[in-house]
Structure 1
């Protein structure tokens, strides 16, 4: 090997790898290192791409097929084994995309992106903490009141002539309940511990989702660029147009759905206070949360609140049911079109089907994200699949 080639090979060998560098023992590797040094430049410190492999080679076809099967199997096992974690990651990314319009709006008005992300997340955390304070405090107070009046309720229920005492005399309910409690203490204790673990798990998952959402929001521009890098350069402009439109639809749906749910909770709270329906704050919060679930959430909330309103009086219960019917009509035909506009563009039948499928697969989370995902899929169909089928 010449002195110049020897010097090039020395420069190509990384200073932090396999030292000391014994060039005399490397043979053909030293020649490759010299060539590596010649092909390196300031613009491309790792060299240019080499010639593509011959994809028609039998060896390449066989290896590609075997690798495809192996990778598919490993990915399937990975998805099944990490399903819960992937759901949290997907939910966090969904929330980040949903909050991105607010961050971008602040960034367009001369806010640094870091400050915009921090402001949006601080608002989200404040709303979440405020919800916990509003929900937990009344719940504890009402539970304390119920516990203090429990003996009075028990006396009234078991007094002679009540329907509970008649059932007790006919079916011997008291002895059956005592026997059930005495023989299933371990089961009851496991149930209580299980409920405690569930609450702890929900709080932990909520914190994880908030942290992941913060990371996704902060790095969303970089994530967006990386996603588009996977698209061939000839198709990249079209992919950017379609991809950004999908992100905008998801973001518009999330923010619009949250705003409509806040309005539903506020209007319900005012109605409950005016008519003296008990547990007004808790019921309003429940309506706000259930209204986030498309198609079925508002109906469930209306039924629950109307049943509780019946405890005040029959006219109040009927009036509450009518109130929800009127409000849902206003929400569906006035508020939703005004707030969301034409962001989603999903037919009603697709909405119901998407909610049912999403709820079956991922529960409440699946039902919430089903409609914007369906909107994204329909956009792909309209812009890519249908035109190609029309030309076929």
Structure 2
């Protein structure tokens, strides 16, 4: 009789060791701490990406100006780019040299008169019931507004550090843009390289359109306010106009913020003067925003106004002033990426709409 080996016995599973309450608490704390660290790293990395985008805009400006010089003069690429970069810095230095003393005097004048201007504005507001409610609200929330403004204008490395990094990155991108473009395309699979070249070209055209419209709008709004406020005899005209011109880079909100100091100064003269100054600001902003800018920005992607405001609020919360300034070009880039990588792909298999033969014009 054959001996039948008994079936091997399965090893008895070891009983699961249940975590104690203290261990569960420490595990939870560790997971939360890890998530917080990841969020903080992502936020810092996002600010770095914004600085790279700002540097890309600087390089786009220099190359766009170089293209114009090259077309007009028929010179080589290197002389055109040298004039583009050197000429831009020379113009800025000349403006600061000729207008620096006047700007400094007007800034001192504005700083000296600002406390009295604010007190005069408070007195004007206190004369009406609505103004009293506004003053009560501002007094109750002054500390909260100060903290919000402080956070709003804070950045990751400080304002001067960010400007330094952005400027030098922009110069490096200007000197050898193909190195960074081809370096990015190296990591793209061969079958996707043509698609990403098309995406980069679309983004380049969109950023150029935004830059042209924004820069010309800043110059025009500055000139119009200098003329308009000079007619009304408002003090510190040049500073107010330059302030409004710089804030023009922030759509929607920049125009409202720029109007505040001008109207406050006008209130020290009379209420009618303040109304006239407010009208000057609104008319200038309307002409530039609704007539001039759309004509120049004909190549930029058409963004819905509500979507622009939402992106500004989100970017301002995440990255402060730099995020608000770059919210529109960043939104344009996101829309282009979504269009090229998603929308066009899902519409590839869709049948094209039938065209009525009667509506098609006949050609000879």
Q: Does 1:123 align with 2:80?
A: no
**Pairwise CA distance, 1:80:** 5.5
RMSD, aligned α-carbons: 3.5
In structure 2, the partner of 1:321 is: 278
Q: Does 1:100 align with 2:63?
A: yes
Question: d(CA) in 2 for partners of 1:289 and 1:148?
Answer: 22
In structure 1, the partner of 2:308 is: 351
Question: d(CA) in 1 for partners of 2:41 and 2:163?
Answer: 23
In structure 2, the partner of 1:217 is: 174
Q: Does 1:272 align with 2:235?
A: no
Question: d(CA) in 2 for partners of 1:146 and 1:353?
Answer: 34
Deviations 1:181-229 (A, max 9, x none): xxxxxxxxxxxxxxxxx9x964454344322211111111222222223
Q: 1:238 to 1:202 in 2, by over 3 A?
A: closer
Q: 1:382 to 1:76 in 2, by over 3 A?
A: same
Matched position secondary structure for 1:234: helix
Task: From 324, 327, 331, give the equivalent of 1:370.
Answer: 327
**Pairwise CA distance, 1:361:** 1.7
Alignment of 1:277-288 (within 5 A): 277-288=234-245
Judge conservation of contact 2:212–2:296 (CA < 8 Å) in 1: no
In structure 2, the partner of 1:332 is: 289
Question: d(CA) in 1 for partners of 2:318 and 2:45?
Answer: 15
Q: 1:132 to 1:345 in 2, by over 3 A?
A: same
Q: 1:301 to 1:127 in 2, by over 3 A?
A: farther
Greater RCO structure (CA 8 Å; 6+ sep): 2
Deviations 1:40-84 (A, max 9, x none): xxxxxxxxxxxxxxxxxxxxxxxxxxxxxxxxx999886566666
Matched position secondary structure for 2:327: helix
In structure 1, the partner of 2:102 is: 138
Structure 1: runs of 5 or more not aligned:
1-72, 158-162, 164-197
Alignment of 1:211-250 (within 5 A): 211-250=168-207
Task: From 70, 91, 103, give the equivalent of 2:54.
Answer: 91
Question: d(CA) in 2 for partners of 1:86 and 1:217?
Answer: 17
Q: 1:78 to 1:203 in 2, by over 3 A?
A: closer
Matched position secondary structure for 1:341: coil
Judge conservation of contact 1:101–1:248 (CA < 8 Å) in 2: no
Deviations 1:309-338 (A, max 9, x none): 222222221111112222222222211111
Judge conservation of contact 2:259–2:278 (CA < 8 Å) in 1: yes
Alignment of 1:178-217 (within 5 A): 202-203=159-160, 205-217=162-174
Matched position secondary structure for 1:225: helix
Judge conservation of contact 1:135–1:285 (CA < 8 Å) in 2: no
Judge conservation of contact 2:240–2:262 (CA < 8 Å) in 1: yes
**Pairwise CA distance, 1:146:** 8.4
Question: d(CA) in 2 for partners of 1:219 and 1:377?
Answer: 25
With 107-116 and 362-371 compared, the bigger mean Cα shift is at 107-116
Aligned length: 276
TM-score norm. by structure 1 comes to 0.61
**Pairwise CA distance, 1:85:** 5.5
Matched position secondary structure for 1:344: coil
Question: d(CA) in 1 for partners of 2:270 and 2:165?
Answer: 44
Question: d(CA) in 1 for partners of 2:172 and 2:218?
Answer: 26
Deviations 1:328-358 (A, max 9, x none): 2222221111111242311111111111122
**Pairwise CA distance, 1:127:** 4.4
Q: 1:374 to 1:323 in 2, by over 3 A?
A: same
